[in-house]
Structure 1
């Protein structure tokens, strides 16, 4: 299906002729977004925002769920999706690591439109008697096939506790939804995820019950070990989610999820209108889920985040008085990093022609580390 996009100028002219208001009318009349599986936090929030866009601007939006990082990014890169609601795979794809170190991928020219502050931790079945990360030793921990966003966070959390996958019984599930349901079905004892996935509420109400494994904020060595695996986290005490409340919080980590991602070459005007609509329809979706209120533009539109912000988003954030010189400096440095890695990837692709996949990956990893070490 070919989607027709009306320009902001044409719509504005039409509305002016009718005596109307050209309020955020640069949105395409039809869009496709990718997101995590149905039932996930990302899908639920994408659905709520899509509904708000539909009510406010008559935009028809199709959400394409996918259980893997590749499944969410491929339609965006191929031009079959307009935006993707991603997690840490946006960082991986921009860096050319994990699933994106293959020859057909490499560093992708991605931009953040906005990204909601989120939390991530280790829910466990209460009857598994897991209280600390050390208690995970020998337990069944759910992983998701083809999902580096979840799996690397889980590896980082294990590293926090001085563990690796070899120290637990890592059980691989085909989709994120299957992994989240595994504890209710007694196929796993713990998982790694956000706090409001629908399956966790099922676990809370089940005979097994739910308990969040403690990730203490004051364990400096633990945080150092974690950040050596994935340097995108900070401590957070969460009160929203399954088994959580103001009187029963849990220590976990904070990052950005979902991140609304566009390609770097997407129209500045279109992204500007998207962010404007995201901000102006906030009251229509802010109560849709327990954590969606964190999409306030002053929170969702500020770095640090996994990838550089899109110029169209920055223009809107500047108009709202949110974007400042420090943020611009951060974005400039992040763009420079992405450009340096992209140039290095092109060189390695040329030099590595004829190498097998293992040798190519080793050469790219070595060059990437060299490039990053040379950045200011």
Structure 2
């Protein structure tokens, strides 16, 4: 078994003992978002299915912060994390992970359930396209890099940046989401199924999802330069949406099941197989858990490269195609280039203050990506 630089005791806590190629360990620890979140609910449903079919005991360790969800995984106390965009930030070495004690992390994806997000306004705003958002009030959440980078990416689809709008900052995601209904902002970004979106739909203002059409290849090139984990998506679930009136918005992955790059291939293979074989037990747990079908969750784009153990099972199922292999190779090359640049940059700038270190690394990060 390939081991990270962990003590055997820590590894045993996370994995509950070694896994056979076609078997699961007796117990596991998973990290996830807070109790009550969609991520925690879906992790719980899958854990319950694993217990029923295989007798595996799983303890879920929730946290309200990206660092809190990643530390158990990186420290060997958890085998898998049910994560979100912090997976991308961690592999890029950006946001919370740009500090000297972090940098690009060597993470891998097992699967990621498709979800969607979009830029939303009211019917009464008169805004029809993302280009027309220029000069309007955009609601963002203070300190929520995960949401805010998605808004920045959506603006880039029309060649706009955050400098082209009037930013209105709110202390919580819920407050930002409610801002259009309350007349405090004109536009915001978020999931189609949040309660605030249904409230906007039911209000006299009405709701409108601004289109991000797949046919606009130039716009998509700009968007994926900011958020390479996005893909075109036709959403039929959520406020103001239906099969008859879908929203042409963007796909992302949440939750994403993440592990370490050097997690044992056989163990990850067994986990991926178990995720597939228990699908019938958890697929109806929520309105979207049916999207964990590997045909949807086992393909890119996603926030990090896929793990070799997962790829082996996906190939056996006929899901992993040449297209997926090409995407994964590009994503892996990006990660490896950033890791190499970080190693050099950190060694050469160890005496900088944290503020200057982060600023310099951000510039180096952008240089590396521009060279790929």
Normalised-by-shorter TM-score class = 0.7 to 0.9
Partner of 1:112: 109
Unaligned runs of 5+ in 1: 13-23
Distance 1:84 1:169, change over 3 A: farther
Checking the alignment, whether the CA contact within 8 Å between 1:54 and 1:61 is kept in structure 2 is no
Residue correspondences, number: 360
**SS class of match (2:243):** coil
1:106 Cα offset (Å): 0.7
2:95 to 89, 95, 98: 98
Asked whether 1:121 is paired with 2:132, we answer no
User: What is the CA RMSD across the aligned residues, in angstroms?
Assistant: 3.2
Partner of 1:26: 24
Question: For the residues of structure 2 that align with 1:47 and 1:177, how far apart are their CA atoms?
Answer: 24
**SS class of match (2:254):** strand
Distance 1:42 1:136, change over 3 A: farther
Unaligned runs of 5+ in 2: 1-9
Aligned positions of 1:277-296 closer than 5 A? 277-296=274-293
Question: For the residues of structure 1 that align with 2:135 and 2:181, how far apart are their CA atoms?
Answer: 19
Question: For the residues of structure 1 that align with 2:139 and 2:77, how far apart are their CA atoms?
Answer: 31
1:152 to 149, 153, 161: 149
Aligned positions of 1:11-160 closer than 5 A? 25-35=23-33, 38-39=36-37, 41-58=38-55, 59-66=57-64, 68-126=65-123, 128=125, 130-137=127-134, 139-160=136-157
Checking the alignment, whether the CA contact within 8 Å between 1:145 and 1:173 is kept in structure 2 is yes
Q: After superposition, what is the alpha-carbon deviation per residue over 1:296-323, rounded to whole angstroms, capped at 9, x for unaligned? A: 1122112333211112212322332333
**SS class of match (2:311):** helix
Asked whether 1:244 is paired with 2:238, we answer no
**SS class of match (2:121):** strand
1:351 to 329, 344, 348: 348
**SS class of match (2:152):** helix
**SS class of match (2:103):** coil
Q: TM-score, normalised by structure 2?
A: 0.82
Distance 1:178 1:26, change over 3 A: farther
Q: Identify which range, 171-180 or 113-122, moves more after superposition.
A: 171-180
Aligned positions of 1:97-246 closer than 5 A? 97-126=94-123, 128=125, 130-137=127-134, 139-183=136-180, 188-205=185-202, 209-246=206-243
**SS class of match (2:189):** coil
Partner of 2:297: 300
1:111 Cα offset (Å): 0.4
1:5 to 10, 16, 41: 16
1:260 Cα offset (Å): 1.1
**SS class of match (1:94):** helix
Partner of 2:3: none
